Amino acid sequence: MQPQTRFALSGDVNIAYQVIGEGPLDLVFVMGWVSNVDEFWTDPPFAHFLTRLASFTRLILFDKRGTGLSDRVDEHRLPTLEERMDDVRAVMDAAGSKKAALLGISEGGPMCALFAATYPQRTAALITFGSYARTLAAEGYPWGRSPEAQEALYDQIRTGWGKLAVGFDVRMSSRVHDPAAREWWARYLVRSATPKAALAFTQMNAQIDVRDVLPAIRVPTLIMHREGDPTLQVNGSRYIAQQIPGARLVVYPGDDHLPWNGDAEAVLGDIEQFVTGARHAPEADRVLATVMFTDIVRSTERAAEIGDRNWRDLLEGFYATVRRNLERFRGREIDTAGDGFFATFDGPARAVRCAQAISNDVPELGIAVRTGVHTGEVEVIGKKVGGIAVHIGARIAGLAGPGEVIVSSTVKDLVAGSGIVFEDRGLRPLKGIPDAWRLFLAA
């Protein structure tokens, strides 16, 4: 549930903040680059990440001055790290927090480090994710961005802000094929800062360098980063961990820059254990979803006919065809296994039309596919889904013939009025599933 937005006065600037959760420890979440606390909650994985944090802490969110719902600032006189640090103090005061752990994401990390060194009496712990000590590469710190890469980022902001999802591909790598995520990121940026402000803040961030501050930090510290992060090199976090006495470093596989993507549950578990001394298995979310299973008919015989190398090429073409249609119909890839593909949709009509489009496209590859579609309640844990509805969808797919899209009666009933025509295939038993199920061919 999205919390109420309030405002804290930092000098003469109003800072937007939210508080959620009733945990024994306060945790201040400091987003990097630009932010909008209301928009945090409109991306389901981000909202889930924050909700999990709030399950074991009293979570405090805020927009740095000049961004999101906080007061805008003079673009010719941008806030310093010290002023942003004062904003954290003002928000903590307004929220009634005497001492808190700080979680800094990306550019939020250096500011949290400065706060921890300056106000150790108000800092219970320092946590950073995907962060750095210095933006640009320098002698003794070769892991920063090159001047050329920084200029390229400036150009993207100048030409793409409000038109493109600037920086999306390198910040949410695991979701590059998710059009809803791309749309959310583009909207999030526009609602977080104006183009001029975004450029000015990015240019200001290029001057960040907290290397001299790190040895002065004396609070418990957890440094986290993903190994293949293309936005900021993992060695920047390794450097931070080496410079802060007693800091713990955790490097995760993957290439997502932002923590709520990829294997977010591992990140959340480590944060929970670090701040509470224990970790709990996340409760599975249950949502209504449409599952689609599709695989290549006679795949074993086809592979034997054309040989291993040609078969690999054919599979790549098949995967590309499926992913192109998933993007078109707003599906989400869940898993692939050999010649099979598993995806979910938030609408059954789109799932059926996606399945029909795939069946129509693959004959040019010299193959046919069979597809099963079912709508039901699924369990969502991280990026995976499970539950009886998934098994039903897989069993239905196994009953389809070449080029056929077979659906459950649930799907047929939910897409009434969509114009999709169905042919009754009668009651059929599904292996391992109680009772017989009435199935239909989507013609």
Q: Dump pLDDT digits (tens) for 382-404.
A: 778 888 899 999 999 999 999 99
Helix (H/G/I), strand (E/B), else coil: 441: strand
pLDDT recorded at residue 281: 64
* C-alpha radius of gyration, the chain, whole number: 25
> What's the chain's length in residues?
443
Q: What single-letter DSSP state applies at residue 258?
A: S
Indicate if 285-442 has the same CATH topology as 6-276: no
CATH class in words for 285-442: alpha beta
pLDDT at residue 284 greater than cutoff 80? no
Using one digit for the tens of pLDDT, what is the confidence trace for 201-214?
A: 899 889 899 999 99
Q: What single-letter DSSP state applies at residue 55?
A: H
**Distance between CA 352 and CA 405 in Å, rounded?**
7
Please provide the average confidence, as pLDDT, over all residues in the chain. Answer: 92
Residue 4's CB is within 10 A of a number of other CB atoms, namely 8
pLDDT at residue 302 greater than cutoff 80? yes
Residue entry with tokens 């593909």: 341
Q: Are strands 221-226 and 248-252 parallel, antiparallel or unpaired?
A: parallel
**Distance between CA 307 and CA 102 in Å, rounded?**
56
Using one digit for the tens of pLDDT, what is the confidence trace for 123-142?
A: 999 999 999 999 999 999 99
Query: DSSP labels for 93-111?
Result: HHTT-SSEEEEEETTHHHH
Using CA atoms in the order 214, 216, 218, 222, what is the torsion angle rounded to 10 degrees? 0
Which ranges constitute the DSSP H helices of 210-298? 234-243, 264-276
Averaging pLDDT over each range in 119-133, 171-185, 285-299, 332-346, which range is the top one? 119-133
Mean pLDDT for 261-278 is 93
Q: CA distances (Å), 79 to each of 90, 101, 114, 153, 315, in order? A: 15, 23, 15, 21, 53
Query: DSSP labels for 290-319?
Result: EEEEEEETTHHHHHHHH-HHHHHHHHHHHH
For the chain, percent of residues with pLDDT exceeding 90: 77
pLDDT recorded at residue 325: 95
| Domain extent listing, the chain | 6-276, 285-442
**Distance between CA 382 and CA 311 in Å, rounded?**
32
Give the phi and the psi of residue 137 in degrees, each rounded to 5: -65, 145
CATH architecture assigned to 6-276: 3-Layer(aba) Sandwich (3.40)
Mean pLDDT for 353-363 is 95
